[in-house]
Amino acid sequence: MLKKLLMSACALSLAATVAFGAQGVRFNVADGDKDAVFMSLVNEKIQTLGFVLSDPHERINDAYKTKWGTEFQTIKGVTSKHPDFDPTFKATLDDLGFFSIMNDKIVGPLLVKEPSLGGFSPFNLGIYKKMGEDKTYVGHVMPETMLNITGVKDKAVRKQFMASFAALDKMTDKEIGGKVKYVDYKSLPAKPMMTFEIPFDRAAGMDKFISDFQGKFEEAFEAHHYIIAGYKDIKGSMTDNNIKFDRFDAYWVYSLCHFRFSEGIFNNGRADANVLAPCSMYMYIDKDSNKLMVGMPRLATWKAIMGIKDKKMVDSITNLDKEITQIMKDLGAKEL
């Protein structure tokens, strides 16, 4: 009886450790401006580890300033008031960048077993530097947290995916240096992923369906002021690299960004949340299936992992989760 009680106590203790105080994000915090070193890291050095950079977005802070902090614009010699100028805009960042990366050779076979891993494949290796602070932050969401968000259960997949970050972190420690700091979180939302399915008539042609759907998808999101910040044809990448990917007839990932939403978070005191952007929305068709499967981490995970409490930010997170869900439904998707 005592042995059972002790075992139960240990189990409860372990569960508490996971639920309360789990490491959500890893940052290298280094003195000085590390932008040049970072660009060398993502453009050249991580490739030696097998990581592929698909969609680089450097100095997003400059784009914020151009769009909302520039009162006048000159086009073909004619100067006029910038239509998006916001007199309340105040730049707070010296640097902000999103760099979507993925280790294709390792992650490809894992996606065959756990397709939802596409919610962080690729994932963002982010950089930011605040004005008035001589420190550069480089980081990513912890792989175990990525797995927990996407609901990956397979123990072998979890082990391989987490192990693939060791070399990346070692290289980042060497190149960026500084102190390694972690952001802890207490728990994830009850439903951290939004998932959908979209039926289609396979007899009418799968390629035509994909082409038509992608056009409608991009048009719908852009109409709601989202930016298609990236696109990766996972199936194509696997085929090009002779990596077995026969489970799927198609698999691709969109990177979505709502520019004003992101500015409202990153430029207003929570630049550390940039590691969760842009949002990866994966889409796949199983072999011979007549359904397109879709999934993406909810923005509510930003609030949970980063401990965002500001009401304006929380409201914007809640509203975007609702809006994205509605856009997908309007495209014919059934929420699962």
Q: Establish if 19 belongs to a structural domain.
A: no
Q: pLDDT-based confidence at 75, cuts 50/70/90?
A: confident
The alpha-helical segments, DSSP class H, found in the chain are: 2-19, 35-43, 60-68, 104-113, 143-150, 155-163, 165-175, 206-223, 234-240, 259-266, 300-306, 311-330
Q: State percent of the chain over pLDDT 70.
A: 94
Q: Establish if 211 belongs to a structural domain.
A: yes
Q: pLDDT-based confidence at 10, cuts 50/70/90?
A: very low
Q: pLDDT-based confidence at 21, cuts 50/70/90?
A: low
Q: Establish if 12 belongs to a structural domain.
A: no
Phi-psi region at 178: left, alpha or beta (left = phi > 0; alpha = psi -120 to 50):
left
- Measured between alpha carbons, how far is 52 from 120 in angstroms, rounded to an integer? 14
Q: Are strands 226-233 and 248-258 parallel, antiparallel or unpaired?
A: antiparallel
Q: pLDDT-based confidence at 300, cuts 50/70/90?
A: very high
Q: pLDDT-based confidence at 317, cuts 50/70/90?
A: very high
Task: Give bridge partners of residue 44 from the DSSP assignment.
Answer: none
pLDDT of residue 243: 92
Position 157 pLDDT exceeds 90: yes
Q: What is the pLDDT of residues 29-40, one digit of tens each?
A: 999 999 999 999
Q: pLDDT-based confidence at 16, cuts 50/70/90?
A: very low
pLDDT of residue 80: 86
Three-state DSSP class for 103? Answer: strand
Span 329-336, average pLDDT: 97
Q: Establish if 4 belongs to a structural domain.
A: no
Span 98-117, average pLDDT: 97
pLDDT of residue 73: 86
Instruction: Indicate the length of the chain as a whole number.
Output: 336
| Residue 273 DSSP class | G
Position 15 pLDDT exceeds 60: no
The boundaries of the domain holding residue 33 are 24-72+79-335
- Which H/E stretch holds residue 279? strand 279-286
pLDDT of residue 178: 97
CATH number at residue 136: 3.30.310.70
Q: What is the pLDDT of residues 182-218, one digit of tens each?
A: 999 999 999 999 999 999 999 999 999 999 999 999 9
Select the more confidently predicted residue: 74 or 181: 181
Q: pLDDT-based confidence at 159, cuts 50/70/90?
A: very high
Q: pLDDT-based confidence at 12, cuts 50/70/90?
A: very low
- Count structural domains, the chain: 1
Q: pLDDT-based confidence at 125, cuts 50/70/90?
A: very high
Position 9 pLDDT exceeds 50: no
Mean pLDDT, the chain, integer: 92
Contact 272, 183 (CB under 8 A): yes
Position 46 pLDDT exceeds 70: yes
Q: What is the pLDDT of residues 304-315, one digit of tens each?
A: 999 999 999 999
Span 77-94, average pLDDT: 91
Q: What is the pLDDT of residues 268-297, one digit of tens each?
A: 999 999 999 999 999 999 999 999 999 999
Q: Establish if 13 belongs to a structural domain.
A: no
Q: What is the pLDDT of residues 237-279, one digit of tens each?
A: 999 999 999 999 999 999 999 999 999 999 999 999 999 999 9
Buried b (16+ CB within 10 A) or exposed e, 199-209: ebeeeeebeeb
Q: Establish if 40 belongs to a structural domain.
A: yes
Position 20 pLDDT exceeds 80: no
Position 43 pLDDT exceeds 90: yes
Structure tokens given for 92: 């707070």
| Residue 58 DSSP class | -
- Measured between alpha carbons, how far is 95 from 65 in angstroms, rounded to an integer? 12
Q: How many beta carbons lie within 10 A of that of residue 184, not counting itself?
A: 12
